[in-house]
Chain A
Amino acid sequence: MHKTRGQRVGLAVLGIAATVFFFFPTYWMITTALKTPAQILSPDYDLIPLSVTFDNFASAFGKDGFTSFLTNSLIVTLGSVAVALAAGLLAAVPLARMRFRGRKGFVLLVLIAQLAPLEALFVPLYLIMRDANLLDKLPSLLLVYVAFTLPFTVWTLRGFVKGIPVELEEAAMVDGCGRWGVFRRVTLPLLGPGLVATSVFSFVTAWNEFLFALVFIRDKGNQTLPVWLSSFRTAFGTDWGGIMAASVIYAVPALVFFMFVQRKLVSGATAGAVKG
């Protein structure tokens, strides 16, 4: 579809307006992290910070145990993304491609599983983890995060598998690819956008989860970043500048992860299979 110059400019303006709208609170967070408490609450009009301080970032990095919290968070998050994608994909393919008894039941289960409020589930889940002897260990969090993100992963990937024409796979089969070869060369690249969406979803969910991270893990050596973030609040007050600086640091890995999967998966999908 070819657009006129006017259309292109109009679209660009819309795109930039949307970017500004969604970036503004983030921008405000970043500038707040560069302010002193009085500047945060200044009566002046300060859309652009007049002077900056890096004290908040220094105090955020200086909080002890940052590296161990970061490592734990990365292990739990990347682990749960991997497990959720693998289990989700394994379930999505038969759901999309095969007819079998209980399929409807399974779909219903996937739907209903998400209805219960998580805040109500934490006592039963705590008891389960205790009885499985997993409390205070990172796998307890990994398992729970997989469970939270799996329904969406299964459902979305199923839709994408369904969208791939069976003929394409059959053609590849004729070309001499084995079942695994077809999956790797045809199905997987076409799933690219779906894998990006679901993996970023899993990443953000696990990366930011606080309640279970707090309740399941006692040992400081095994705690994750959300708990670190909450240590900026004490009974004596909250270090808001510190929280904002920490949140900026906090959002960076998620951005890196997004850029990474985006490049790996989407470019593969659009460059390769669709045209073929």
Chain B
Amino acid sequence: MMAPALVFLVALLGWPALQVVFISFRELNLGELVRGEVIWTGFDNYVEVLSDPEFWTITLRTVVFTTGVVAATVLLGLGLAVLMRHLSRGVRMALQISLVLAWATPIIATTTVFQWMFDQQYGILNKTLVLLGFESYSGHSWFSTGASTLTVIGLLVCWQAVPFVAFTLYAGLLGASKDLYEAASIDGATGWQAFRAVSWPALRPVLAIVVFLSVLWDFKVFTQVWAIRQGGPDGQSTTLPVLLYLKGISGSGFGVAAAVAVLMLIVLVLVTWRYMRLLVRSQETEL
């Protein structure tokens, strides 16, 4: 029964990923790729990437960015999931529709809309802030520093990612039997106690995978970071995926890019290692 899934995972994810590892030990630029030349260079690509002090700054920045965005996304998503359970039908439907729209809107449109909203001169945000009496925001530039730029990007990513998290957690909550809630309520449990006793066990496995996936996606997010300021100003919002793009596509150095990809993977494994062990173990025992 698992055969189809296994075939997909091995052939279309595992195998290509392995090839990326091999490519990282080769000199592979556009010319070599087109002519099919194979030039092994050992660890040269890794030396090139790791010897650049920028790399460590970028790695740290990526980890911090990911942590912030994941925390915000999961907390908001969890809050919305619980909220949805308690809302009346009409409001819940309105909220769900707005979430689906946020989720389904093409990234290019969302990113552009955010750029406009945050525009220095013509953005609705600055105009609104001024209208509310915050005069200093007239002409405020949201993209003048790396930190500010990354915050806006984080908000954008968060806005797009929360719907997925909220829906998945909501599905997990629905999975918990209503009888249990009623039993808890008859026993005189408060809302918080009912949440701890009934919702939490049902949520935990789903929450675990949602956090895991959010870490992976937010760590690898590229399109939005690139579209907002190409990793600028002065490279201050460059994250690892942007570096991968700069080396691979802009520079057509697929060998170096593959090395960045492998290093990214290692960082990801390090960051999620404990978590992955927890996931694997918990699936053996209680889940």
Q: Do A and B come into direct contact in the complex, CB within 8 Å?
A: yes
Chain A residues within an 8 Å CB radius of B102: 22-23, 25-26
Residues of A near B222 (CB, < 8 A) are: 117, 119
B174 part of interface (Cβ distance < 8 Å):
yes
| Most chain B Cβ neighbours within 10 Å, of A8, A11, A18, A42 | A18
Q: Does B47 contact A (CB under 8 A)?
A: no
Which of B53-61, B66-74, B140-148, B278-286 is near enough to bind chain A?
A: B278-286
Bound state CA distance, A177 and B100, in angstroms? 37
Q: Is the CB of A22 within 8 A of B20?
A: no
The CA of A196 and the CA of B20, in the complex, are separated in Å by 34
Q: Known contacts being A32-B113, A107-B280, A196-B171, is A254 close to B83, with CB within 8 Å?
A: no
Contact A115 B265 (CB under 8 A): yes
A121 close to B (CB within 8 Å): yes
| Chain A: CB-nearest residue to B13 | A113
Within 8 A of A (CB), among B192-233: 194, 202, 205-206, 209, 212-213, 216, 220, 222
B168 at the A interface (CB under 8 A): yes
Known interface pairs A91-B1, A116-B13; A193-B171 also in contact (CB < 8 Å): yes
Residue of A nearest to B205 (CB): A159
Stretch binding the partner chain, chosen from A51-59, A62-70, A122-130: A122-130
For A8, the chain B residues whose CB sits under 8 A away are 88
| Shortest beta-carbon distance from B38 to chain A in Å | 13
A207 within 8 A of B: yes
Q: Does any Cβ of B come within 8 Å of A111's Cβ?
A: yes
Neighbouring A residues of B9 by C-beta, 8 Å: 109-110, 113, 147, 150-151
Q: Is B17 an interface residue (CB 8 A)?
A: yes
Q: CB < 8 Å: which of A110, A117, A147, A274 contacts B220?
A: A117
**Cβ-defined contact, B8 with A106, below 8 A:** no
A-B contact count (CB 8 A): 275
A119-B248 in contact (CB<8A): yes
Instruction: Tell me if A266 counts as interface (CB < 8 A to partner B).
Output: yes
Which A186-234 residues sit within 8 Å CB-CB of chain B?
A: 190, 192-194, 196-197, 200-201, 204, 207-208, 226, 229-230
Chain B residues lying within 8 Å of A34, measured Cβ to Cβ, are none
User: Known contacts A111-B212, A162-B205, A243-B112: does B98 contact A23 (CB below 8 Å)?
Assistant: yes
In chain A, residues 77-92, which have Cβ atoms closer than 8 Å to a Cβ of chain B? 86-88, 90-91
* Contact indicator B269/A115 (Cβ below 8 Å): yes
**Shortest Cβ gap from A141 to chain B (Å):** 12
B131→A204 contact, CB < 8 A: no
A114 within 8 A of B: yes
CA distance A266 to B163 in the complex (A): 17
B109 touches A29 (CB 8 A): yes
Closest CB of chain A to B204's CB: distance in Å? 9
A-B contact pairs, 29 of them (CB 8 A): A12-B88, A16-B91, A19-B91, A19-B95, A22-B98, A28-B116, A32-B113, A46-B124, A87-B5, A91-B5, A109-B6, A109-B9, A111-B212, A111-B276, A111-B279, A116-B261, A117-B264, A119-B241, A121-B17, A125-B12, A128-B12, A156-B206, A159-B205, A163-B202, A193-B171, A208-B104, A251-B105, A251-B106, A266-B174
